[in-house]
Structure 1
Amino acid sequence: MAELHELTALEQGAAIRSGEVSSAELVEHYLARIARLSEELGAFVTVTAEQARARATGMTGAGPLAGVPTAIKDLNATAGVRTAFGSVLMRDFVPDWSDELVLRIEAAGMISLGKTNTPEFGSPCYTEPDPSIAPPAVTPWDTGRMAGGSSGGAAAAVAGGLVPLAQGSDGGGSIRIPASCCGLVGLKPSRGRISGAPSYGEVTGLATAGPIARTVRDAAAFLDVMAGPSLGDPSWAPEPEVSFLEACDRAPARLRIARFITPVLADTAVDPECVLAWESASRLLESLGHEVVDIEAPMPRDAVPVFETCWAVLTALSTVGLSTEQKEQLQPMTRWLGAKGEAVSGPTFGLALGEMRRVAARTLAAIAPYDAVLTPTLASPPLPVGALRDDADPESDFVAQTRFTPWTSMWNVTGSPAVSLPLHYTADGLPVGVMLAGRPAGEQELLALSAQVESAAPWVDRHPGCW
């Protein structure tokens, strides 16, 4: 057998079912790698070794991922486990409840090894929390460069072989950005696909949980674990015809795929490597028999302030009610964005939500003739740690983030599924993702297309030096 961490998550599940390896052996293998590599990669905030060993010993659950180790992003409440939300203000918080998606991961028999690194309250697209919480999350392909955010710790853990797959969340690209930086598959599901119970803290409809994995099939199997509504959810995606894993085995028909490269969020230059990745992906899709059509950017630039208003209010929900002394302990970006959100009146927020939904409707109408949309994931390969962060001028920091991520947020606004695929590497070995977005609630079709792309240009055997 190969080294255990070289197996995909589905291969690990199959090995457990056949008796070739036990869940306990996998847990010990990954805990050893976490002890050796997590600090360097900024992957984990909290490691739950004893809980994982106990769960592996008494593991129950059915399905293809039963017994397989994973990790939970530190924005998701986990009963009895410190959940710091990337903030010094929450460093000692231990909830007595778990989010619904955590319960579903446990019910599937998967074994969480701990909580992965995230920036304060998940706001920025880099993962550089206060050093007392964790070191910066970096891409294993070059540890001087960022893993992205806000699911940076999750992506660093998967890319570094510390877990085979991990849960992330995405309100403006926070799954797809680190997937691109770390050479992984990162899927943002459709709005309502994964329940936000019991807290329902995401009131805009922008954010959702989703899988970060090494392969499309692993991501699909993990989506099967997390997906499905809970009683009381404000919205929900329709039940799929077949499992998302089964959808990967369905060869897609000839598709019409729109493509554009004009940045949406900001007027910014696109790195030639990202252009090359996008052009190569276009040729690959055409070689697979699909029609690729150039279109204008379907979302107007004047929609950006509406998104930014909603994003600021989301941050403010984490900071409102804090004392002046507590706010002084926040990171400058959180403090600035939270203050901006607190200054938004109720009617202004309501108008912004309404306009965001109208923008989404117009955007979806513009791309309705197409089965999928292709763009780069990011405007640049992974940047050096600290390249975006500007504590002295958080507003400039925020603008720099939009220039780095000028396409991802569009699909949070529309609520459509979108995936970053690791199809390109620079000459010095840095991963560069390309992004495919599907129709609303169209994860099955998007996964079938992504699996076809992976089969034609496989990446699973490409690893960083720490592998």
Structure 2
Amino acid sequence: MTDIHELTVSEQALHVRKRELSPVEITRHYLSRIERLNDRLGAYVTVTEEDALAQARSAEQRVLRDTPEDLPPLCGIPVPIKDLDMVAGVRWTWGSAVYAEQVAPLDEDFVAELRAAGAVLIGKTNTPEFGMACHTDNDVAPPARSPWDLTRSAGGSSGGAGAAVAAGLAPVAQGSDGAGSIRIPASVCGLVGLKPTRGRVTAAPVRPDLIGLSTTGPLARTVTDAATLLDAVAITRPGDYFPAPALPSGVRFRDYAVGTADALAPGAVGEGPRRLRIGRFAESPVPDAPTQPEVRAAYDSVSHLLEELGHEVVDIEVPLAPEVQNHFGTVWAAMATRYPVQPEDEQRLRPLSRWLRERGRGLSATEYLDATHQLQLAIRAAMTRMDEYDAVLTPTLAQLPAEVGSFSADGDPVAEFERMTRFTPFTVLANLTGQPAISLPLVWNPGPIGTTLMGRFGGEPTLIALAAQLEQARPWHGRRPPIWNA
């Protein structure tokens, strides 16, 4: 039989239902790969071997007891959780040496939903301190590295999740995205990274929504697997500030990936898939952040593929003015102050965290409110410009993958922040507007170069269906990094 880590989530789940694979067998397989390879990849901060095996045994008993139709969709499938998020009773470091021994008191609500869906929570994936960087270097674990080139960063802030899935240390992973943190590692690691619509996944029970920049979402090797994980975590709770539009009753996100609820369905019998109008831009929204030629070539290649599939592709102006980055920087600094750190522990933080927190603490309420006001004005203008398009195409990143340690090599946090901004000028747009966005590994030169499609607010169905159409036209699932068979 094919090695377990070669199988997609859908294939693993089918084998479990047919009793051809046991949840314990699957979990032991991934635990073995983690033990052998994690030190080279920096994917996991904490591995919960005993808890994971106990969950797998419970899932196995359910498989033997229940009919296949009664089994939950992720029964026995290992899913790691990013170390910014809580799993009850498990180490929870926020990527910070200050919190290296912190233990979560309860589950995030989406984690509880994953448990209900049958997932085996196998461990916590690596993240930069407080999730504030686009690379995953911290003082609690080795840096997360791209499985395609171990000298390159896996991106961030969901870098550990990206490394884990791309190297076959997990079949799929949960990440979170506040300024590109799912799509950045997806691009670097050759994965599907889906940032859902604002409000699609609750931040309950304790995290505030703030202005809605960040959301939970999947990193996966296929569009179907990403949609399957989104189905498991897409929940809202009373009191959420930004509830997203609901799907039709009885319909799942996965249905749009496999065609049973095709958002690109023909308008009449005999017609091909619906023709979409897709805007595109590759000019950087950030001054002095040029798009590298290889990245531009990948973007053009995907544009041509969309046209070959029958879609209209239209060049548009950059929807955000350059000054938006300054307002975003103000809000990002304010967010860094949310993590409680005693004065005597501030020097234990990394330079970027200290600089952001100092900057954030120096803001007045008026300055913060003015920044959020200016961002909303920019969002209204941008969404008006993009509203006539079914999707908007951009590069995921402006540059090819960066070397490990290159962002913070000189210890200057101001320079580090500027390098991060030039690396990721396209990603923050979807966080500001709240629109769904998906990074796809459609081009390799020679490693993966991600391209992003943004959908309308609440438009995951069209986005997922379009991504699945692109995946079918130019499959990537058979590509494997050098470490895959190590």
The alignment's TM-score, normalised by the length of structure 1, stands at 0.97
Number of aligned pairs?
Answer: 461
Match of 1:174 among 181, 184, 188: 181
Aligned to 1:51: 51
Aligned to 1:120: 129
Q: Distance in 2 between the 1:95 and 1:254 partners? A: 48
Amino acid at match of 2:471: E
How far does residue 323 in structure 1 lie from its aligned partner after superposition? 3.2
How far does residue 39 in structure 1 lie from its aligned partner after superposition? 1.1
How far does residue 290 in structure 1 lie from its aligned partner after superposition? 0.1
Amino acid at match of 1:446: L
Is the Cα contact below 8 Å between 1:264 and 1:410 reproduced in 2?
A: no
How far does residue 202 in structure 1 lie from its aligned partner after superposition? 4.1
Match of 1:226 among 223, 233, 240: 233
1:18 and 2:18 aligned: yes
Match of 1:162 among 165, 169, 174: 169
* More deviation, 34-43/225-234: 225-234
What is the CA deviation profile of residues 181-208 of structure 1, one whole-angstrom value per residue up to 9, with x for unaligned ones?
0000000001000000011234121000
* More deviation, 345-354/59-68: 59-68
Q: Distance in 1 between the 2:179 and 2:361 partners? A: 20
Is the Cα contact below 8 Å between 2:17 and 2:71 reproduced in 1?
A: no
Is the Cα contact below 8 Å between 1:148 and 1:181 reproduced in 2?
A: yes
What is the CA deviation profile of residues 321-365 of structure 1, one whole-angstrom value per residue up to 9, with x for unaligned ones?
x33321000000000011111111112212222221221111000
Q: Residues 35 and 312 (structure 1 numbering): CA distance in 2 closer, same or farther, change over 3 Å?
A: same
How far does residue 66 in structure 1 lie from its aligned partner after superposition? 1.8
Amino acid at match of 1:443: E
Aligned to 2:470: 453
Report the secondary structure of 2:483's partner residue. Answer: coil
Aligned to 2:192: 185
Amino acid at match of 2:404: V
Amino acid at match of 1:192: G
Is the Cα contact below 8 Å between 1:204 and 1:310 reproduced in 2?
A: no
1:411 and 2:434 aligned: no
The alignment's TM-score, normalised by the length of structure 2, stands at 0.93
Report the secondary structure of 1:257's partner residue. Answer: strand
1:274-313 equivalences in 2 (<5 Å): 274-313=295-334
Is the Cα contact below 8 Å between 2:158 and 2:182 reproduced in 1?
A: yes
Aligned to 2:447: 430
Is the Cα contact below 8 Å between 1:14 and 1:64 reproduced in 2?
A: no
Gaps in structure 2 of 5+ consecutive residues: 63-69, 265-273
Report the secondary structure of 2:449's partner residue. Answer: strand
Q: Distance in 2 between the 1:335 and 1:355 partners? A: 26
1:369 and 2:388 aligned: yes
Is the Cα contact below 8 Å between 1:202 and 1:314 reproduced in 2?
A: no
How far does residue 270 in structure 1 lie from its aligned partner after superposition? 1.5
How far does residue 47 in structure 1 lie from its aligned partner after superposition? 0.2
Is the Cα contact below 8 Å between 1:381 and 1:430 reproduced in 2?
A: no
Aligned to 1:236: 243
What is the CA deviation profile of residues 356-410 of structure 1, one whole-angstrom value per residue up to 9, with x for unaligned ones?
1221111000011100000110111211101112453101100000100010001
How far does residue 228 in structure 1 lie from its aligned partner after superposition? 1.7
1:317 and 2:330 aligned: no
Is the Cα contact below 8 Å between 1:155 and 1:178 reproduced in 2?
A: yes
Is the Cα contact below 8 Å between 2:52 and 2:120 reproduced in 1?
A: yes
Report the secondary structure of 1:58's partner residue. Answer: helix
Aligned to 1:342: 361
How far does residue 2 in structure 1 lie from its aligned partner after superposition? 1.0
Is the Cα contact below 8 Å between 2:283 and 2:290 reproduced in 1?
A: no
1:146 and 2:153 aligned: yes
Q: Distance in 2 between the 1:441 and 1:159 partners? A: 28
* More deviation, 195-204/140-149: 195-204
Is the Cα contact below 8 Å between 2:352 and 2:413 reproduced in 1?
A: yes
1:39 and 2:35 aligned: no
Report the secondary structure of 1:466's partner residue. Answer: helix
Q: Distance in 1 between the 2:44 and 2:410 partners? A: 24
How far does residue 466 in structure 1 lie from its aligned partner after superposition? 1.2
Aligned to 2:374: 355
* More deviation, 391-400/166-175: 391-400
Q: Residues 348 and 210 (structure 1 numbering): CA distance in 2 closer, same or farther, change over 3 Å?
A: same
Q: Distance in 2 between the 1:198 and 1:358 partners? A: 30
Amino acid at match of 1:313: A
What is the CA deviation profile of residues 267-286 of structure 1, one whole-angstrom value per residue up to 9, with x for unaligned ones?
22212111111000000000
Amino acid at match of 1:309: T
Amino acid at match of 2:376: R
Match of 2:116 among 107, 115, 118: 107
Q: Distance in 1 between the 2:34 and 2:104 partners? A: 24
Q: Distance in 1 between the 2:342 and 2:164 partners? A: 35
Q: Distance in 2 between the 1:64 and 1:392 partners? A: 46
Match of 2:221 among 198, 205, 214: 214
Q: Distance in 2 between the 1:296 and 1:108 partners? A: 43
Gaps in structure 1 of 5+ consecutive residues: none
* More deviation, 284-293/62-71: 62-71
Amino acid at match of 1:7: L
Amino acid at match of 1:118: T
How far does residue 265 in structure 1 lie from its aligned partner after superposition? 3.0
Is the Cα contact below 8 Å between 1:332 and 1:391 reproduced in 2?
A: no
1:129-144 equivalences in 2 (<5 Å): 129-130=138-139, 133-144=140-151
1:263 and 2:284 aligned: yes
